[in-house]
Amino acid sequence: MRLFVAILLSDEMKAALIEAQNAMYDRGLRGNYSQEENLHLTLAFIGDFPAAEPVLDALETVAFRPFSLSLEGIGHFGDLWWAGLRDSAALNAVARRVRRALAENDIPFDRKRFSPHITLVRKASRDAAGIGIAPAGMDVEAISLMRSDRGKSGMIYTELGRVEADASGKEPL
């Protein structure tokens, strides 16, 4: 199974992202656009791993309180265009805790530096400079273990399990 740990996005956030994608398309940018149901924020990419249970067990050790995310700007890595997120100490802390839990449980993952972004379009045909993104935000109340499968019309992401935030106010370790 191809696995990754992600934050699933609210409808409000997805609507702002789709609006930005539509503006890109209307400006003539062609490429592989992320489908609305696939829009997410990756915390850790695991890749091929034989079972979900050990990963879910590791994620159960990740303590966090609900926190807010807000969209901020559009950028790119080569021909991949993405929506950015306002700097968030809470988001960075959760990503560190997820990655630490995976490492402590000998679950391999991509160790590239965490650079929070939401992929809008891959293999873009041209520049998308000057396109903005509408303000949108959400409260993060869970992290999800996702499976990625190749379908006839692109990738299909399936949630295999989730870990809820601790809303009790208890300070995470």
Active-site positions read 40, 117
The answer to whether the CB of 46 falls within 8 A of the CB of 102 is: yes
Q: Is 28 within 8 Å of 131 (Cβ atoms)?
A: no
What is the number of H-type helices and E-type strands within the chain? 3, 9
Ramachandran class of 31: left when φ > 0, alpha when ψ lies in -120 to 50, beta otherwise: left
Question: What residues are paired with 99 via a beta bridge?
Answer: none
Token match 């903005």: residue?
Answer: 132
